[in-house]
Chains A and B, each alone.
Chain A
């Protein structure tokens, strides 16, 4: 795409720009068909996909296009009907802490306070299982990162929607997953809170070089967050095309350049509708 990225510091570049990063996640001819008594429904046609370490890939498309199905396959909640998806060469068979997900509804445990929610995954992590102090320290650092260090003892129901998603982000990052999966966690939030969360998510992306896969039906969100946007079309779901977003980070969702990409992403869907 554009060549205007030369003056951006390495740390702010998206993963795909440093081409030598290894492939961390790979889908080979992975498809998903749901079957019930009367019919078969193809949710996802066989797709191939390679994600490099540190990349932020957005699955964009209308509802029913298979983007969430693909995310669930990667998370291991479901298994592909054909083909396979592998993380660092090992096929994904079940959910695990190397692929943590940020859910649509925060999915925080209401019976635990903020701190204990973040610690929950650490208690089950081989590195932290027997190290109580280390667990608390790490949870505290993460809460600080999402600017909620003063709320460690708060109950979940006392937090606002945006704060809940930030705790969920801290909980998902705590066990240091190889891939962070993001399932449209922002639609329920108001525009101001969303813009702030976008900024935070990018800040975290830049500082941790996390590989992130995110699902959205908002073209602006896709353009603002993704290094690469995969445009899905339905039914059955398939990847229609792929758009590289060569913009420096952090990006502002209200930046006209982001809007330009959003228009391009949206245009891909529009052309699909016309025969």
Chain B
């Protein structure tokens, strides 16, 4: 993992963000954009600090995360089962593949109106949006992963006496795991989009709610601040939870050169 250019590239990344904030600050200072549209970085930080002080920020992050953990677990389970069926039956695969690819191209926010129609303002609607946003990605990645399993694993398993019933859990799912993890990573991101979109409209707590609340107050600093928090939480999870798991699995499965 140690790349020789690791340190210089990190310096560039830090430099890039410093530059980004400098541009932002100078745009603000020059007065080219009106203050109620573009607050300064310091005003955004101040606004986030205030929301935190009022005890609104942490509960919002927690609420969105709890919804994600529950909703995404359900989505991943359904996606895994459907993906397994798709991977093991050509007929199921040809029927569902186009449908799920289609669903995946649908912007996650497009599920919000349907969920309002079905669930009204109930919290169940947010879970519905998360599941519908995340599930197709997991199902597609699982079935793709299964269809790409090297035949020698299946052959080896058969000669070693694996029964058809034991095959999915002992060989097929583990062998497809690198692809499944990629699908889970993508599914989580899409579910995260869906969760925040749904919270914009139908919640009284959560990051999405704080965004729409900020808009109602015409508080650009709060809107931008919450956007940044949403990005940051998403990025942290993507990099340090799913990214690390993915990297470890890919290396163990011999798909990536080790260190």
Using CB atoms and an 8 Å cutoff, list the residues of chain A in contact with chain B: 75-77, 94-97, 99-101, 103-105, 107, 109-111, 120-121, 124-125, 155-158, 171, 175
A45 to chain B, nearest CB (A): 25
Given contacts A109-B175, A157-B252, 18 further A-B contacts (CB under 8 A): A75-B155, A77-B158, A96-B161, A99-B159, A103-B155, A103-B156, A104-B152, A107-B150, A107-B155, A109-B153, A109-B171, A111-B175, A111-B252, A124-B161, A125-B161, A158-B258, A171-B160, A175-B161
Q: Can you sample 7 A-B contacts with CB below 8 Å?
A: A75-B155, A107-B155, A107-B156, A111-B174, A124-B166, A157-B254, A158-B258
Most-contacted residue by chain A among B158, B163, B258 (CB, 10 A): B158
Q: Which size bracket describes the interface of B in this complex?
A: 20 to 34
Question: Main SS of chain A's interface residues?
Answer: loop
Please provide the chain B residues from 33 to 50 with a CB less than 8 Å away from any CB of chain A in the complex. Answer: none
> How far, in whole Å, are A175 and B254 apart by their CA atoms in the complex?
26
**Cβ-defined contact, B159 with A97, below 8 A:** yes
Chain A residues whose C-beta falls within 8 Å of the C-beta of B156 in the assembled complex? 101, 103, 107, 109
> How far, in whole Å, are A156 and B175 apart by their CA atoms in the complex?
14
> How far, in whole Å, are A156 and B156 apart by their CA atoms in the complex?
15
**Cβ-defined contact, B158 with A95, below 8 A:** yes
B177 on interface, CB distance cutoff 8 Å: yes
Please provide the chain B residues from 148 to 189 with a CB less than 8 Å away from any CB of chain A in the complex. Answer: 150, 152-153, 155-156, 158-163, 166, 170-171, 174-175, 177
Chain A residues whose C-beta falls within 8 Å of the C-beta of B177 in the assembled complex? 111
Whether A101 contacts B254 in the complex (CB less than 8 A), given A121-B161, A175-B161, comes out as: no
Chain A residues whose C-beta falls within 8 Å of the C-beta of B153 in the assembled complex? 107, 109
**Cβ-defined contact, A96 with B159, below 8 A:** yes
Whether A107 contacts B253 in the complex (CB less than 8 A), given A75-B159, A121-B161, A124-B162, comes out as: no
Please provide the chain B residues from 200 to 214 with a CB less than 8 Å away from any CB of chain A in the complex. Answer: none
**Cβ-defined contact, B174 with A101, below 8 A:** no
Question: Main SS of chain B's interface residues?
Answer: helix
Which one of A94, A107, A110 lies within 8 Å of B252 (CB-CB)? A110
**Cβ-defined contact, B155 with A95, below 8 A:** yes
**Cβ-defined contact, B160 with A121, below 8 A:** yes
Chain A residues whose C-beta falls within 8 Å of the C-beta of B158 in the assembled complex? 77, 94-95
> How far, in whole Å, are A101 and B160 apart by their CA atoms in the complex?
9
Nearest to A100 among chain B residues (CB) is B159
> How far, in whole Å, are A99 and B254 apart by their CA atoms in the complex?
27
> How far, in whole Å, are A125 and B163 apart by their CA atoms in the complex?
11
B251 on interface, CB distance cutoff 8 Å: yes
> How far, in whole Å, are A125 and B152 apart by their CA atoms in the complex?
20
Which one of B152, B159, B166, B254 lies within 8 Å of A95 (CB-CB)? B159
**Cβ-defined contact, A105 with B159, below 8 A:** no
Most-contacted residue by chain A among B158, B159, B163, B251 (CB, 10 A): B159
B182 to chain A, nearest CB (A): 16
Q: Which 10 A-B pairs have the closest CB atoms?
A: A124-B161, A121-B160, A111-B174, A95-B158, A107-B152, A107-B156, A97-B161, A95-B159, A110-B253, A157-B254
**Cβ-defined contact, A156 with B254, below 8 A:** yes
> How far, in whole Å, are A158 and B253 apart by their CA atoms in the complex?
11
Chain B residues whose C-beta falls within 8 Å of the C-beta of A171 in the assembled complex? 160
Chain A residues whose C-beta falls within 8 Å of the C-beta of B251 in the assembled complex? 157
Nearest to A155 among chain B residues (CB) is B252
Chain B residues whose C-beta falls within 8 Å of the C-beta of A101 in the assembled complex? 155-156, 159
Whether A97 contacts B160 in the complex (CB less than 8 A), given A105-B152, A107-B155, A110-B254, comes out as: yes
Nearest to B256 among chain A residues (CB) is A157
Chain A residues whose C-beta falls within 8 Å of the C-beta of B162 in the assembled complex? 124
**Cβ-defined contact, A124 with B252, below 8 A:** no
Nearest to B251 among chain A residues (CB) is A157
